[in-house]
Amino acid sequence: MSNIKRALILGDGAAGTIISNKLRLLTDKKDLEIVVIGNSPSHYFKPDGVQIPFGLKQYRKSVKPTEFLFNSGVNYVRDEATGIDVQKRVVTLKSGKSYNYDYLIIATGDRFTPEDVPGYEGEAKHFYSLKNALELKTELEHFNGGDIVVGQASIPIQCPPAPYEFTFLLDQYLKNRGIRQKTNIHYIYPLNRVFTIQNVSTYIEKLFEERDIIVHTMFNVDSIDNKSKKVQSLEGESVNYDLLVLVPPHRGQKFITNSGLANESGYVDIDKHHLNYGTYDDVFVIGDATNLPISKAGATAHFQSEYLSHSIAHDVGGSVYENEYKGDVACTTITGGEKAITLYFNYEKPPRTSFQSKTDFLLKWTSSDTYFSGMLRGIM
């Protein structure tokens, strides 16, 4: 009988790709089989979405074939998970096949649910997918003045800084076109500040004020009226728009909820230091699929994968990994004027916000090259 164990990874996005490649680098094929279940024909580097609508990035550089991104020794199966039975250690697939596992890593990300906001479909624009970023580019090219409302419908979302990054780039774009004085930029946010982390929010609010960006806080989107061109909040406030750039609501995957691993939000509650689900020491969740109190971003999945790949590799080898995941996140965010700040923080330490630079902006500019060549491959 074979003693080879199997790590079954659900999801071929950033989290699933990074953890599979890192785990392959740390283990031998004779000890661990690595199987990734996913059905994405291409892999899109989502952080470029804030730049594509302004023509600052050529979108073709932001996309790679999914199969190309897995290292040798990773078995990629084009299929879709439809159910998980953690007691029987089995995952069922859309094709009707099923897979048993010794280690299950759920890296299925989350999904957009625009249907949660009445009036969203066909009216609001966003930049969180390549298709939508390109459509928004066309909208901006035809915009000649008026009111632009930028924000997010609810919390949580992928890449939380992206709405304010987009707003800073929008301000510069309108100035370059000579129509900034003909345009009011409104920024709406669900909390009583403009970002989840207080010191980052204070910093961003100051920059917004310098750029005459109108802020509406405690604005949880309730509905959109496409006839009167108004976005309405649950709190009773409404804002008029000529162009509405609104990140849609997010939820975890439906089959996660249907499998009993999460409530209707679809996000899985896990141990924040060991990333395992409930009392199971063979079921882990990383990336956007978790309900952890940290950013949903590729950089977060990178740090989680660093911890979890070593933990599983030690277990395969018969030893215990003594380290813990500490909630590490590092991301570079645009602040306008070809400058950016790099935020590094974890569960205990808030990010520093005292320094923005051109160097950080260039780091953001080239991040897709680093992402595809190093981070996804598991060598960073």
Are 225 and 192 part of one and the same domain? yes
User: How far is residue 171 from each of residues 54, 72, 142, 238, 338, measured CA to CA in Å?
Assistant: 11, 45, 16, 22, 12
Are 97 and 45 part of one and the same domain? yes
- Read off the pLDDT of residues 47-100 as tens digits, 9 standing for 90 and up: 999 999 999 998 998 999 999 999 999 999 999 999 999 999 999 999 999 999
Please name the residue that has the structure tokens 């780091």. Answer: 363
Q: What is the CATH number of the domain that holds 159?
A: 3.50.50.60
Residue 366 has pLDDT above 90, yes or no: no
Among 239, 358, 301, 309, residue whose Cα is nearest residue 71: 309
Domain termination site, one of 329, 351, 370: 329
Pairing of strands 221-225, 214-216: unpaired
Predicted pLDDT of residue 1: 42
Residues 365 and 361: their CA atoms lie apart, in Å, by 6
Predicted pLDDT of residue 17: 97
- Read off the pLDDT of residues 235-290 as tens digits, 9 standing for 90 and up: 999 999 999 999 999 999 999 999 999 999 999 999 999 999 999 999 999 999 99
Are 292 and 201 part of one and the same domain? no
Predicted pLDDT of residue 213: 98
Pairing of strands 98-100, 90-93: antiparallel
Instruction: Give me the phi and psi of 64, to 5 degrees please.
Output: -135, 155
Are 273 and 291 part of one and the same domain? yes
Are 177 and 230 part of one and the same domain? yes
Predicted pLDDT of residue 269: 98
The CA dihedral of 106, 110, 111, 114, to the nearest 10 degrees, is 150
Domain termination site, one of 187, 216, 249: 249
Q: Which residues pair with residue 33 across a beta bridge? A: 6
Planar angle of CA 55, 59, 65, nearest 5 degrees: 175
Residues 13 and 108: their CA atoms lie apart, in Å, by 7
366 lies in a domain?
A: no
Residue 192 has pLDDT above 60, yes or no: yes
Instruction: Give me the phi and psi of 47, to 5 degrees please.
Output: -60, -25
Lowest mean pLDDT among 153-167, 278-292, 331-345: 331-345
| Owning domain of residue 45 | 5-109+253-329
Q: Which residues pair with residue 216 across a beta bridge? A: 188
Domain termination site, one of 249, 282, 304: 249
356 lies in a domain?
A: no
150 lies in a domain?
A: yes
The two tokens of residue 105 are 């890593």
Residue 380 has pLDDT above 80, yes or no: no
